[in-house]
């Protein structure tokens, strides 16, 4: 959520940012509601002062025997009391209206974020590895002979519907191995704290990280009103919801492996083949809660954590900075990491790492106490995939594919597979 003081003090900055983010809300729209709210509060305070002054005079009028003045003052006290109640309710309604509007506004991009409309305007900042030259036509993951026995889309559809899959045997084990490898790397090498959290959250938590109110259609809600998390960013970030931390507790770096659920609203017809875009998937998430002065550097650190996973798996990738038109709702700057998929002959997103500044912290009321004293300040939050497990499985299978339908698996995974190194054309590990 944006700071109303920033909009008051620098409306031109706000308007330029909203134009970049393709929002049709102007500073005038926000400040008109804010001005009305402040006017109602001022009127209520003035009426309260008049009520108090009249109340003091009532007793004196009664004591002097001036019955007419007594009745006038008593009526005035009642009138002002009613006015105070009415104005406070009107101010409360304006406050709710302002809060609703602020909750729906996207974050302000950093000045160094490239301007643009969509993914075509994103800017590459890093590239690692060379896509392999296959002496045969590369297949997509679901076409590989060794994968077909362990990746059942028909059974997934039977059990749950479109965009679900059942993994079994060797493919399921590779999928699990990838998640374990990612977690161990983030904990042992990157210093993140492993965390296990629920996949069902209450509505306040979804508001806290910005999934609500604007993006409710992208997630699943139960009949009891709980929400299924689209990513454990929701739970990990909300661990500081309503908290005031000590400055020496920052940065707080967390990681979790969780099931994630997305309705994929608006993606009809996109990536319908294979398991690239599913309603249920697994992800290893990274979240950092930082001091405001550390958050920009933390973005680069988290990006490297995600990139290093791909490098350890020998998967070619590129990293891009998202332009203003392609960046997520709560982000100030986002680095997307795209892994090379030979079956498609293109790079596809496998991680998105974002710095949100105090945008989520304001929604969650998450602060820290400066070590030198002074008023508590809002923390800064960051989140990123480290990585999407299913998409990493796709990349491992496609990049390691052999002409006979087998797959050579990355050395980094061998310890997690009991020393086995190959997925055979028959769907077994050897």
Give the active site residues: 262, 277, 349, 352, 391
| Residue from 203, 209, 174 nearest 399 by CA | 174
Question: How would you classify the pairing of strands 422-423 and 367-369?
Answer: unpaired
H-state helical runs in 189-343 = 203-209, 233-237, 295-312
User: How far apart, in whole angstroms, are the C-alpha atoms of residue 326 and residue 117?
Assistant: 7
Strand order in the sheet with 193-194: 123-128, 317-321, 333-341, 346-355, 380-388, 280-290, 252-261, 193-194
State which H helix or E strand residue 38 sits in. helix 27-64
Neighbouring-strand partners of residue 123: 321
What is the phi/psi pair of residue 339, to 5°? -90, 150
User: How far apart, in whole angstroms, are the C-alpha atoms of residue 391 and residue 399?
Assistant: 12
Planar angle of CA 82, 35, 214, nearest 5 degrees: 105
CA 307 to mean position of chain CA atoms: 19
DSSP collapsed to 3 states, 90-118 = HHHHHHHHHHHHHHCCCCCCCCCCCCCCC
User: How far apart, in whole angstroms, are the C-alpha atoms of residue 108 and residue 14?
Assistant: 7
User: How far apart, in whole angstroms, are the C-alpha atoms of residue 222 and residue 386?
Assistant: 28
User: How far apart, in whole angstroms, are the C-alpha atoms of residue 131 and residue 341?
Assistant: 9
Neighbouring-strand partners of residue 355: 333, 382
Neighbouring-strand partners of residue 201: 227
């Amino acid at each position: 959520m944006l700071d109303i003081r920033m909009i008051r003090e620098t409306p031109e900055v706000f308007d330029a940012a909203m134009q970049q983010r393709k929002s049709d809300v102007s500073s005038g729209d926000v400040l008109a509601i804010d001005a009305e709210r402040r006017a109602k509060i001022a009127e209520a305070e003035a009426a309260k002062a008049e009520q108090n002054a009249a109340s003091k005079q009532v007793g004196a009028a009664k004591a002097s025997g001036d019955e007419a003045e007594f009745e006038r003052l008593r009526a005035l006290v009642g009138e002002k009391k009613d006015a105070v109640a009415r104005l406070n309710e009107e101010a409360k309604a304006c406050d709710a209206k302002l809060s609703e509007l602020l909750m729906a506004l996207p974050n302000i991009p950093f000045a160094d974020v490239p301007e643009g409309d969509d993914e075509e305007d994103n800017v590459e900042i890093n590239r690692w590895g060379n896509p392999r030259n296959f002496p045969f036509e590369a297949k997509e993951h679901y076409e590989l002979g060794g994968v077909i026995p362990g990746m059942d889309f028909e059974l997934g559809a039977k059990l749950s519907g479109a965009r679900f899959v059942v993994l079994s045997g060797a493919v399921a084990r590779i999928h699990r191995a990838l998640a374990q490898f990612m977690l161990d790397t983030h904990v042992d090498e990157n210093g993140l704290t492993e965390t296990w959290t629920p996949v069902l959250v209450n509505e306040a938590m979804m508001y806290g990280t910005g999934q609500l109110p604007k993006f409710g259609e992208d997630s699943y809600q139960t009949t009891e009103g709980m929400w299924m998390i689209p990513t454990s960013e929701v739970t990990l970030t909300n661990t500081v919801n309503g908290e005031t931390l000590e400055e020496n507790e920052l940065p707080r770096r967390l990681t979790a492996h969780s099931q994630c659920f997305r309705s994929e609203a608006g993606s009809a017809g996109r990536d319908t083949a294979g398991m690239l875009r599913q309603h249920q998937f697994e992800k290893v998430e990274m979240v950092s809660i930082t001091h405001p002065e550390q958050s920009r550097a933390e973005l680069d650190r988290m990006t490297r954590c995600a990139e290093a996973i791909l490098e350890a798996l020998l998967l070619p990738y590129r990293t891009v900075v998202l332009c203003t038109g392609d960046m997520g709702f709560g982000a100030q700057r986002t680095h997307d990491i795209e892994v090379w998929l030979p079956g498609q002959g293109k790079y596809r997103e496998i991680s998105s790492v974002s710095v949100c500044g105090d945008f989520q912290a304001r929604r969650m009321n998450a602060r820290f106490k400066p070590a030198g004293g002074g008023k508590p300040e809002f923390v800064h939050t960051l989140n990123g995939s480290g990585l999407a497990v299913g998409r990493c499985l796709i990349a491992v299978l496609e990049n390691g594919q052999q002409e006979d339908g087998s797959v050579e698996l990355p050395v980094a995974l061998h310890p997690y597979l009991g020393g086995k190194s190959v997925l055979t054309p028959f769907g077994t590990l050897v």
